[in-house]
Amino acid sequence: MNQISALFKKEAVESIRNFKLFLLLAVFIIIGIISPLTAYLMPDIMAMVMKDAGIKFELPVVTAVDSYVQFFGNMNQLGLPILVIVTGSILTNEFSRNTLINLLTKGLKRHNVMLVKFLYTILMWTVVYVFGAVTAYLYTIYYWENELENILAAFGLTWLYGIFLISVIMMASAIFRTSFLGVLFTVLGVVIIMIIASIYPMTAEYLPQYLLTSNMSLLTGETGMSDVMPAVLITAGASILIFLLSIVTFNKAVM
């Protein structure tokens, strides 16, 4: 317990000193602002494009749903990649600079290192994601104020997917140890495999990737919570399993 709290403090100080927490916070709040802004400006942008192209049709009225479409789109294209790039080096840094060896030989348990790194990254992700989501939510209710269903659940899906990515980062770090690029490519590979696998409708509903594609239909009420439940359970289970496997791998690793 003592080791865990000391390591936690170390991680907290480190993330503040090397500006990673601040960086993630700023990026996610910017995403939270940009998304409703894009939705708000969309009719004007479309009108301009259509005027140039000589097309004419009635534009649908922008609603709160469009704001969330933008938010989740930005999250997938900007937020999650930046999360992986910024937090991906959390373990590889320690290995490549050999900063863990002294602590480990003095009796620091290896599984404690993994546990704290995992939990702290999740904590960091949760905090920055909540800031981004709340920003987007506040702007959306201020400008459109229509109520949507399952809003917390829809936000929660992307959050859970982030945790899954973090567990993949831990696994890849335990395997590659010093190579940050190895971690990046592993995460990329896992995501690409999931995208390819979700072409088949049979498997699509059970993959973590399904979480990212179904948060909009949850908001509009097209799908209920029970439809995404298999994917949620599988993602949560897979994250825990991958994390446990990464501890096993790290325990066997030669420093």
Partner 1 sequence: MIINVRELLPFLIPLIIFQLLLMISALTMIVKQRRFKYLNRVAWIIIVVVFNIVGPVLYFVMERK
Residue numbers at the binding site for partner 1 (CB under 8 A): 18-20, 22-23, 26-27, 29-30, 33-34, 36-37, 40-41, 44, 48, 78, 82, 85-86, 89, 93, 139, 142
Among 126, 137, 118, 119, residue whose Cα is nearest residue 25: 126
**Choice between 36 and 162, CB closer to partner 1:** 36
**Choice between 24 and 231, CB closer to partner 1:** 24
Residue 158 to residue 231: CA distance in whole angstroms:
12
Work out how close the CB of 26 gets to partner 1 at its nearest, in angstroms, rounded to a whole number. 5
**Choice between 78 and 234, CB closer to partner 1:** 78
**Choice between 78 and 236, CB closer to partner 1:** 78
Work out how close the CB of 33 gets to partner 1 at its nearest, in angstroms, rounded to a whole number. 5
Work out how close the CB of 19 gets to partner 1 at its nearest, in angstroms, rounded to a whole number. 6
Residue 1 to residue 209: CA distance in whole angstroms:
35
**Choice between 4 and 21, CB closer to partner 1:** 21
Structure tokens at 37: 């802004």
Work out how close the CB of 230 gets to partner 1 at its nearest, in angstroms, rounded to a whole number. 35
Work out how close the CB of 97 gets to partner 1 at its nearest, in angstroms, rounded to a whole number. 8
Task: Name the burial class of residue 81, with classes exposed (0-12), middle (13-18) and buried (19+) by CB atoms within 10 angstroms of its CB.
Answer: middle
Task: Name the burial class of residue 8, with classes exposed (0-12), middle (13-18) and buried (19+) by CB atoms within 10 angstroms of its CB.
Answer: middle
Buried b (16+ CB within 10 A) or exposed e, 161-199: bbbbbbbbbbbbbbbbbebbebbbebbeebbeebeeebe
